[in-house]
């Protein structure tokens, strides 16, 4: 009986070995590709298009009136992004940053 109890406590205290050993993985990065300079170019590169305009959103140069600063909103059943939800001066700032322009730069 004493032997059974000591075997059980020893089994509980022993560290369990994983069933599968971890594998060694590597990743490769393309270093010869040109790096996009602005966030707008980065979004276009991730989308796989040469067009620098993201979706159907107006660019900073296309904004003429206050109505242009209203976002389209999110599709039903989805969570809106900042770009879809922002309005007014916040949207102007986001659109500027997408093109690499800081519109509130005071220097």
The pTM score is 0.48
| Distance between CA atoms of residues 87 and 75, nearest Å | 17
For the segment 53-90, what is each residue's pLDDT rounded down to a tens digit?
A: 666 778 888 889 988 888 888 889 988 888 888 888 99
pLDDT in tens, 16-38: 666 666 666 666 666 666 676 77
């Amino acid at each position: 009986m004493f032997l059974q109890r000591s075997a059980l406590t020893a089994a509980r205290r022993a560290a369990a070995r994983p069933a599968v050993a971890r594998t060694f993985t590597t990743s490769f990065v393309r270093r010869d590709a040109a790096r996009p300079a602005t966030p707008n170019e980065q979004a276009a590169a991730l989308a796989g298009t040469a067009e620098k305009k993201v979706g159907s959103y107006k660019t900073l140069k296309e904004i003429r009136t206050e109505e242009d600063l209203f976002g389209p909103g999110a599709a039903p059943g989805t969570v809106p992004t900042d770009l879809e939800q922002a309005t007014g001066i916040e949207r102007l700032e986001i659109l500027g940053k997408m093109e690499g322009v800081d519109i509130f730069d005071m220097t």
